Chain A
Amino acid sequence: MSTVPLMRRVVITGMGAISPLGVGAEALWQGLREGRSAIGPLNHPDAARLRVKIAAQVPASFDPAANIDERILPMLDRTSEFALHAAREAITQSGLDFRQNGLGVRTAVVVGTGVGGETTQDEQSKRLYGENSQRAHPLTIVRLMTNASASQISIAYGLRGPTYAVASACASANHAIIQAAMMIRYGMADAAVTGGTEACITYGALRAWEAMRVLADDTCRPFSVNRRGLVLGEGAGIFVLESLEHAQARGATILAELAGSGMTADATDIVMPSADGAASAMRQALADAGLAPEDVDYINAHGTGTLANDVTESKAIRLAFGAHADRLAVSSTKSMHGHALGASGALELVAVVGALRDSVVPPTANLDKVDPACDLDYVPNVGREMPVRAALSNSFAFGGLNAVLALKRAP
């Protein structure tokens, strides 16, 4: 028999975000709690010839060059720009100095992204196939590789622990955060910088989404009977995780405890979700965190605003929570920050940390009339002041992949 492995508690001590609601995790959280939607007309050079007319985009006021070494800038796809800025904010908030006591060697970097350097890919494809150029830009590879964001964070802060990217489409951020937490829990690292980043509002990606016929043409209305589909978003959310004892030993301000997680695969269909798969991930997350269903007050839903997701997710919550499902506040903040794909779980974790910290549940915006097939309390349109003791954050991906985080208030 092997010995029981070391199991350490994991806490969040820093968070940063670049999102359609602006620069900074606070800008995102303030917007979400106030129910402000950042969905607007698509801002893209090819907008006139595209069918998709709306998106949730990082505002033009975001300055990628601010605080980034000018020698590094040319190496960055938009994905990495977002990630580096969010990481800087998170690390600054945590107060950690990775040069002290060899902490850099004991710090992991795990960043989720659905597709990686899509802007670079799109630009270079246009150049080669559209403009018949013979030459790709020499920094194409270092910009577009999926691990670029994780590596750039590692290099910028001297983080020498396990560093890699995680890709699971719309669940990438949650899968990445779980990987990072596991490493701290089992002693492979004392700290981690983790989250998700995505920037794929490109001509090619927009055309591909159009062809799939899942994009809304008005706005994102999760759980509303008049929903018309999802709205693409972009951005990054990055967090600093630490073992509880590490955070307490240095007197750090703890934002929340990442108490557990659940990961499952539906193993059924490449796009149609399964309530069973999602429910089992939620059950796992509860068990892993030592939570009973009654301990949970809030679920940040995957809530894409598609018929397939919203009905299935509502059923799954009922399967996992039983009678307590009627007492849960459930909201989809994608109604405001859009669907940032591989970054979405990270943007949503900002909302969950805010809810735990400030005792306010962000609403589901644009919820005109609840779909009769969705029978939970979706916190329509206006945030709700209420104590939040523990919360789940759901991410479900194309490919049938489910990753759920369980969070508790800071101990």
Chain B
Amino acid sequence: MTDTTQQQIFDLIAKQAKIDVATIKPESTLKDLGIASLEAIELIFDIEEHFNITFPDQQGANFDTDTTQSLVDAVQKALDDKAAAGEGSN
């Protein structure tokens, strides 16, 4: 389950960074992968759209220096919160 989420996120990162998905490691930061500030915000948007989740506001500001694993964790948390809330629309 987590692997699936991770794989989907890595695919989105690979697409945004135009790199081979195999080069993405959980400890890589988006910055390491060449994703600068505005592209990081765009990636967050792609992830939100893909999983139909909304990240809290301030989180986005740090995504370019956080690891891809922390991104996966944040998505997983948002998905869990959504599941716990029952039918989360919006």
B57 engages A51 (CB within 8 Å): yes
Q: Label chain B's interface by main secondary structure.
A: helix
**Proximity string of chain A (130-141) to chain B, C-beta cutoff 8 Å, 1 when within and 0 when not:** 000000000000
Cα-based distance from A211 to B43 in the complex (angstroms) = 11
B38 engages A213 (CB within 8 Å): no
Q: Which residue of B lies closest to A272 (CB)?
A: B37
Cα-based distance from A337 to B72 in the complex (angstroms) = 38
> By the criterion of a CB under 8 Å from any partner CB, how many residues of chain A are at the interface?
17
A210 sits at the interface (CB 8 A) = yes
B61 engages A215 (CB within 8 Å): no
With A211-B45, A270-B38, A271-B37 already in contact, the answer to whether A307 and B61 are too (CB < 8 A) is yes
Select one of A211, A217, A269 contacting B58, CB under 8 A. Answer: A217
B:5-53 near A, CB below 8 Å: 36-38, 41, 44-45
Select one of B37, B41, B54, B90 contacting A308, CB under 8 A. Answer: B37
A212 sits at the interface (CB 8 A) = yes
CB distance from A292 to the nearest CB of B (A): 36
A228 sits at the interface (CB 8 A) = yes
Residues of A within 8 A of B41 (CB): 211-213
Q: Which residue of B lies closest to A306 (CB)?
A: B61
Residues of A within 8 A of B61 (CB): 213-214, 229, 307
Residues of A within 8 A of B57 (CB): 51, 210, 213, 215, 217
Q: Which residue of A lies closest to B60 (CB)?
A: A213
Residues of A within 8 A of B44 (CB): 213
A:255-284 near B, CB below 8 Å: 269-272
Q: Which residue of B lies closest to A214 (CB)?
A: B61
Cα-based distance from A213 to B54 in the complex (angstroms) = 12
Cα-based distance from A93 to B61 in the complex (angstroms) = 45
Q: Label chain A's interface by main secondary structure.
A: loop
Residues of B within 8 A of A212 (CB): 41
Residues of A within 8 A of B90 (CB): 49
Q: Which residue of A lies closest to B40 (CB)?
A: A213
A:49-102 near B, CB below 8 Å: 49, 51
Q: Which residue of A lies closest to B38 (CB)?
A: A271
A:290-348 near B, CB below 8 Å: 307-308
CB distance from B81 to the nearest CB of A (A): 15
Q: Which residue of A lies closest to B58 (CB)?
A: A228
B:57-75 near A, CB below 8 Å: 57-58, 60-61
Cα-based distance from A82 to B61 in the complex (angstroms) = 33
Most chain A CB neighbours (cut-off 10 Å) among B36, B37, B45, B90:
B37
Residues of A within 8 A of B58 (CB): 213, 217, 228-229
CB distance from A36 to the nearest CB of B (A): 26
Cα-based distance from A385 to B38 in the complex (angstroms) = 41
Residues of B within 8 A of A215 (CB): 57
Residues of A within 8 A of B45 (CB): 211
Residues of B within 8 A of A270 (CB): 38
Residues of B within 8 A of A213 (CB): 41, 44, 57-58, 60-61
Residues of B within 8 A of A308 (CB): 37
Residues of B within 8 A of A307 (CB): 61
Cα-based distance from A203 to B61 in the complex (angstroms) = 22
Cα-based distance from A269 to B39 in the complex (angstroms) = 12
**Proximity string of chain A (197-225) to chain B, C-beta cutoff 8 Å, 1 when within and 0 when not:** 00000000000001111110100000000
Cα-based distance from A51 to B54 in the complex (angstroms) = 10
Cα-based distance from A92 to B47 in the complex (angstroms) = 54
Residues of A within 8 A of B54 (CB): 51
CB distance from B3 to the nearest CB of A (A): 28
Cα-based distance from A72 to B44 in the complex (angstroms) = 45
CB distance from B75 to the nearest CB of A (A): 16
Residues of B within 8 A of A214 (CB): 61
Cα-based distance from A229 to B36 in the complex (angstroms) = 18
CB distance from B62 to the nearest CB of A (A): 10
Q: A212-B41, A213-B44, A307-B61 are in contact. List 20 more A-B contacts (CB 8 A).
A: A51-B54, A51-B57, A210-B57, A211-B41, A211-B45, A213-B41, A213-B57, A213-B58, A213-B60, A213-B61, A215-B57, A217-B58, A228-B58, A229-B58, A229-B61, A269-B36, A270-B38, A271-B37, A271-B38, A272-B38
- The 25 sampled A-B contact pairs (Cβ below 8 Å) are A49-B90, A51-B54, A210-B57, A211-B41, A211-B45, A212-B41, A213-B41, A213-B57, A213-B58, A213-B61, A214-B61, A215-B57, A217-B57, A217-B58, A228-B58, A229-B58, A229-B61, A269-B36, A269-B38, A270-B38, A271-B37, A271-B38, A272-B36, A272-B38, A308-B37
User: B residues touching A (Cβ–Cβ < 8 Å)?
Assistant: 36-38, 41, 44-45, 54, 57-58, 60-61, 90
